[in-house]
Amino acid sequence: MVGDIPIDEFLGEAEDIVDSLNRDLLAINEAVSKKKKFDPALINNIFRAAHSLKGISGLFGFTELTGLAHTLESLLDRLRLGKVELTDDLLDLLFESADMLRAIVAGKGKGQEAPNARDVDELIERLESGEPRPKETRQDDVMSCVGLDILAVLTEYEEHRLHENIKDGMHIIKIRAAFDLATFDEGLTELQALAKQQGEIITTLPSAEESSEDKITFDLIIGTERPLEVVKESLSGRSLTFTLLREGSRAAASQEEGPAPAREEEGKEENEPGAEEAAAEPKEAPPREAGDAGASLRTISQTVRVDIGKLDNLMNIVGELVIAKNIMTQLIERLRAEMGFTELSIELVKNTRTMERKLSELQSGVLEVRMVPVGQIFDKLHRNVRKLSRELEKEIEFVAEGGDTELDKLIIEDLADPLMHIIRNALDHGIEVKAERIQLGKPAKGLIRLRAFQRGNHVVIEIYDDGAGINYDRIKRKAVEMGFFSASAEPRADELIECLFAPGFSTASKVSEISGRGVGLDVVKQNISALSGAIDVESRQGEGAKFTITLPITLAIIQALIVEAGGQTFAIPLNSVQQGLMIQPREIQTIEGREVIELRGKTLPLLRLDKLFGLTPGGNGGKGSGRKTEAAAGEDTGKDVPADARENGEAEKEGEGREIYVVKVGIADRGLGIIVDRLWGRQDIVIKSVGEVLKGIKGIAGATELGNQRTILVLDVMDLMEEAAVSMFSANK
C-alpha cells in the first residue's frame, strides 16, 4: 500500500491496462497477418498503456515493472513516431513483453509467483536493441501546414501523424465547432465519430480565444483523402466552419474510393444544400453513426470498477434477505392457519408477494453485475495459442465463438488455467505436424475452435480440435495396467474416457503414450469440479476431440432441493437435480457389490447418504419423533418440486408405503441416484463455506441456513458422483 492506496487498486488498474494492451496487439496482429493497414491509433493506445503502467508502478516502487514498462514505452514511442518498422519479430517481442508484464503484475497479487528477474532483464535488453530507423526531418511541412500556434500544442506523436498524412498526400482540414460548455462532450463525441469516417483525426483542440463563459470552441484537425467540398457536404446541417490547411495530392482518386457508409451519408443529406449556416443548433444525433471514438469515450465515463468483495457482501445481504423472506412466508402460513383468511392476512400475503418479486429482481440485478463476458479469457487464450503454435511450428487457425456469453467473474478467473491446459494438450499432442496432416488428407492448418453458449442455468464451453483424437487402445492398455479393468474386460468408450480423468492416471503414463491426452486432466477436472462444473470428452480416433465444460452461471445464490436422510437435512443444488423418483425396494439390484436400479433401460448407480456419512439409517423409526416436526417447519411451499417427487413426499407423510425416494442427480451425461428419506421442497440458498473441521470430507460443498434458522449441509454432487465412480472402479477390479 502506498499512502492510502491499497495494492488492489493498483492490481485492478494494471490488469486492465495489460488487457487492453493485449487486445490492441491482437488487433494489429490480425491486420498484419491479413496484410491490411491497421489504425495507427492502435500503436498509440499500446504506447499509452505502457506509459500508464510505468506511471502507476513507479508510484508503488515496483522497479522491474517500471523498468520493463519504460523500455517498452520508449520502443513503442519510436514505433508510433515511425522511427522503427513493425516487423513480425518485433510483434512477437511485443506479445512476449505483454506476457511478461502480466506475469509481473500477477506476481504482485497474493499467492502468485513473480517471474525471474533475470528473464525480465534479458527481455529489456532485447527491447532496447530494436534498431531505430534514421529520422527524417519534417518540421517544415508540418509548420507550414498548421502554423506555429497549433504546432505548439501538438504532442510529438500528433506531429508525426500530421507529417505522415501530409506525406501520404492527404488533405488537411480544420473543422471548427462551438458547443454549450455544459454539454459539449456529447456533441463533440458525435462530431468526432462523424469526422472519423472522413479520415484520421489528428488532434482535437479546445480553442481558448473563441470560447466564452458558456460556450466552448473546438478545432478538429483531420487528414483525409476527400476534398474539402465533399467533407463539407458530409457534415452539413451543423454549424461548422471548415478551413483547408493543406491541399492534398490525392484529390482525383478520392471521390471514387470513399468508404461506403460515408457515401450513403452524402446521398442522404444531398437535399439540404447550403445547410452549413442554416442550422444554428446541431441536428439530432444519428445513433447509427456512433463510431469508435464515441464508443470508447462512453466506456470511460459510464462504467465504475467495483471490488468483487463488495459485490460478495451485497450478495450476502441479499441472501440474508431471502432467508428473512422465507421466515416471513412461514409466519404468514401460521397466521393463516391460526386466524383464517382475515382481511389483514390477505393484505399481508399480497404485500409479501410484491416484496418477493422485488427481492428476486434485486437478486438477479446483483447477479448481473457480477457477470463478465467469457471473451475476456478467449483473448488471453488466443494469445497463448499464437505463441505456442509458433514454438511448436504448427500452423493453427484459432476460432472463438460466443465470447459475449456471460459468467460469474469468480468462475471466469478460475477457468483460464483449465482451458489453457486443454488447449495446450490439443496443440502439443492432438494436432499433427503439417506433413502428417497433409498425408492424412486434412487441411495443413490445424483448427482449434472455442465455443461458449448458455444452456438454461449453465454455460457450456466447447474446445474442439481437428487433430488425432483419443487413442482408446492405448488408454485401455494403461487402464488395465493400473488395475482399473481386468485384461479381458471390454470397457465402453465412455468408461475409458472416465479413466482419463482419474487421479494419477496420467502421472504414471508417458505424455506421448496416450496421444497426449491425459496430461494432468485429473487436475483440470478438479478445477472444474471446484466450480461445480463438469467436463466431458467426445472423440473419434483420428478425427479430433471435443471437450465440453458445463458450468453453473453463478455460485453465489442457488436453488436447492431440501432433503432428509439418516435424520439429517441436506440441500442438493437444484441445477444438478434431474428428477425425483419413487421406487420399490425390490427394484434395487446389486451388481458387483453395488446398488443400482434400471431406469429407462439404463443403469443408474445409487448412493445412500446415511451410509456415506455414517448416519443412523433414517427410513424406519424416524417417524413421529420430534425431529420430524422440526424438519417439517423447514418445508418451503414446494411449488416447483417435480410433481412425482412431491406426491411421494405427501404419500410418505401419510405413512403408507415402504417406497424409497431417489433424487436423480447428474451433470452433463452422467447420473447418480441419491436415496433419501424425505423430500422437503425447493428453496433459494446461499452457500457458505464450512469450517476447517468439515473441509476434508468428500461430498460436502458447504453449509447454508434455512428459514427456521437451522444450518444444514449442502451436498457436492460432483464429489458424490466421483465417489460413486471410484467405488465402481474398485468393484470392477
| Binding-site ranges for another protein (CB under 8 A) | 2-5, 9-10, 13, 48, 51-52, 54-56, 58-59, 61, 66, 70, 73, 77, 152-156, 158, 181-182, 184-185, 188, 203-209, 211, 213-214, 216, 296-297, 300-301, 305
Q: How do beta strands 711-715 and 700-705 pair?
A: antiparallel
The residue type found at 361 is: E
Indicate the residue among 83 and 627 with the shorter CB distance to another protein.
83
How is the chain split among helix, strand and coil, in percent rounded to 5?
Answer: 50, 20, 30
Which of residues 20 and 727 has its CB atom nearest to another protein in the complex? 20
The CA-to-CA distance between both ends of the chain, in Å, stands at 57
Which residues on neighbouring strands pair with residue 586, listed in sequence order?
A: none
The CB-of-165 to another protein minimum distance in angstroms stands at: 18
Shortest Å, Cβ 502 to another protein = 46
Q: Which is nearer to another protein, 81 or 459 (CB)?
A: 81
Q: Which residues make Cβ contacts (< 8 Å) with residue 284, sequence separation at least 6?
A: none
Task: Measure Cα distances from 40 to 45, 202, 292, 435 in Å.
Answer: 9, 11, 13, 38
Listing from the earlier edge strand, what are the strands of the sheet with 534-539?
A: 396-401, 446-455, 458-465, 545-552, 534-539
Least separation in angstroms between CB 204 and another protein: 6
Q: How far is the CB of 106 from another protein (least distance, A)?
A: 17
Q: Which is nearer to another protein, 130 or 294 (CB)?
A: 294
**DSSP secondary structure code for residue 639 in this structure:** T
Q: Alpha-carbon torsion 478, 480, 485, 487, what sign?
A: positive
DSSP per position, 466-489: -SS---HHHHHHHHHHTTSS-TT-
Give the span between the Cα atoms of 367 and 355, in whole angstroms: 18
C-alpha 329/C-alpha 636 separation (Å) is: 9
Q: How far is the CB of 3 from another protein (least distance, A)?
A: 4
Whole-angstrom distance, CA of residue 365 vs CA of residue 508: 48
8 A C-beta contact, residue 129 and residue 75: no
- Whole-angstrom distance, CA of residue 314 vs CA of residue 334: 30
CB 363 within 8 A of CB 318: yes
CB of 59 to another protein, least distance (A): 5
- Report the distance separating Cα 132 and Cα 653, nearest Å: 85
C-beta neighbour count of 101 within 10 angstroms: 26
Q: What is the number of residues in the chain?
A: 733
CB of 28 to another protein, least distance (A): 18
Specify the residue, 205 or 558, whose C-beta has the smaller distance to another protein: 205
Cβ-contact 463, 396 below 8 angstroms: no
Residue 296's region, left for phi above 0, alpha for psi from -120 to 50, else beta, is alpha
Rounded to a whole number of angstroms, the minimum distance from the CB of residue 9 to another protein is 5
Nearer to another protein, 182 or 260 (CB): 182
Q: Is 428 in contact with 392 (CB distance < 8 Å)?
A: yes
Residue whose CB is less far from another protein, 13 or 413: 13
Q: In what order do the strands lie in the sheet with 215-224?
A: 199-207, 215-224, 171-180, 240-246
Minimum Å gap between C-beta 193 and another protein is 13
Nearest approach in angstroms of CB 58 to another protein is 3
What is the DSSP secondary structure assignment for residue 487, as one 8-state letter?
T
Least distance in angstroms from the C-beta of 57 to another protein: 8
DSSP output for 14-52: HHHHHHHHHHHHHHHHHHHHTT----HHHHHHHHHHHHH
The minimum distance between CB 217 and another protein, in angstroms, equals: 10
In whole angstroms, the minimum distance from the beta carbon of 119 to another protein comes to 24
Strand 660-667 to strand 577-583: parallel, antiparallel, or no bridges (unpaired)?
Answer: antiparallel
Number of CB atoms found within 10 A of residue 22's CB: 22
Contact by Cβ (8 Å): 218, 174 = no
| Residue placing its CB nearer to another protein in the complex, 219 or 406 | 219
- Closer Cβ to another protein, 154 or 367, answer by number: 154
Q: At what angle do helices 63-80 and 117-128 cross, to 10 degrees?
A: 20
Residue type, position 317, single letter = I
In the bound state with another protein, the residue whose beta carbon lies nearer, of 63 and 730, is 63
**Of the two residues 35 and 305, which places its CB atom closer to another protein in the complex?**
305
Nearer of residues 137 and 620 to another protein, judged by Cβ: 137
Cβ at position 189, least distance to another protein in Å:
8
Nearer to another protein, 154 or 323 (CB): 154
Distance between alpha carbon 449 and the CA centroid of its chain, in Å? 16
Cβ proximity to another protein, 52 vs 224, nearer residue: 52
Q: Which three cell numbers stand for residue 645?
A: 417427487
How near is the Cβ of 298 to another protein at its closest, in Å? 11
Q: Which is nearer to another protein, 78 or 394 (CB)?
A: 78
